[in-house]
Amino acid sequence: MRTGWRAAIFGSVALIAANMVQSPAQSAEIKVFLTGAARGAWEILAPQFERATGHKLVMVSALPLELVAKAEAGEPFDVIVLSIDVDGLIKKGKVEAASRIVLGQIGVGVAVRAGSPKPDFSTVEKFKQSLLNAKSIATSGEGSSGRFVAGLIERLGIAEQVKPKIKSGGPGRSAQLVAAGEVDFVVSGLPPLIDTPNIEWLGLLPPEINSFVLFTGGLGTAAKEPEAGRALLRFLTSPEAMAVYKTKGLDPPP
């Protein structure tokens, strides 16, 4: 991306946030549960929102199922952003139904350490063979794409052979593994990989076996700062914020 385009996008985001400026007496501390896969965009957007509104954002970042567990256990939060649908939390009374937002979607694909041999995944059968031939692969583990891959190898009938080869961990671990050359390749969504050097994104899996993961968010039903939380959700769905998501590998909502 050219520097001028990047500056224009970030400047527009700042302008949108400026339209939400609150007086110091109205400033709030907003607790946000944030999926690790969204951190790249968040690191750009959060400071813009804070500077323009006077609100302070307190982030709790983890894998989506860990955040769901925290919400279900009653840990307080104002806003939640997940790489899965918040609909489950809505049904359990933890997120306001009317507040649900969709930020974008990602498909699952393959990446390698820059300069490493590229696996062939142009067809389902070739992808299956690449998994069987690999010495090791990385996934996001209990992240959204990692759970998808775990189910996929079951459906392909190769779970017994491939499971022992899988390396994973917390947010960012799959990117570290492939960048360091500790695995042959990674099967993942793009956002967790995009800011790590020495990684080459090769593309998406064949459509007949791929799955698109929604990034969604919403306001906690027990939010301490509901109005500030709603302002944040409006900001996160602005066209300018969507442009930032695109630079971080997130496709537009369906």
The runs of H, that is alpha helices, within 167-211 are: 173-179
Given a cut of 70, whether residue 70 has pLDDT beyond it is yes
Task: Round to the nearest angstrom and report the end-to-end CA distance of the chain.
Answer: 24
CA distance 3 to 216: 29
Average pLDDT of span 46-70: 95
- Tokens encoding 39: 């951190």
Given a cut of 70, whether residue 8 has pLDDT beyond it is no
Where residue 84 falls among pLDDT bands split at 50, 70, 90?
very high
Count of Cβ atoms closer than 10 Å to residue 167 Cβ: 16
Mean pLDDT score of the chain: 90
Environment class of residue 187 by beta-carbon count within 10 Å: exposed (0-12), middle (13-18) or buried (19+)? buried
Where residue 9 falls among pLDDT bands split at 50, 70, 90?
very low
Count of Cβ atoms closer than 10 Å to residue 82 Cβ: 28
CA distance 141 to 138: 8
The runs of H, that is alpha helices, within the chain are: 3-18, 39-53, 64-72, 87-91, 124-133, 144-155, 159-162, 173-179, 226-236, 239-247
Q: What share of the chain in percent tops pLDDT 90?
A: 78
Given a cut of 90, whether residue 26 has pLDDT beyond it is no
Cut 0.85: pTM above it? no
Given a cut of 60, whether residue 122 has pLDDT beyond it is yes
Report all structural domains of the chain as residue ranges with CATH numbers, in order of start.
3-106+214-247 (3.40.190.10), 109-204 (3.40.190.10)
CA distances in angstroms from 159 to 23, 62, 80, 81, 156, listed in the order given: 56, 26, 33, 31, 8
Contact between 16 and 240 under an 8 Å Cβ cutoff? The reply is: yes
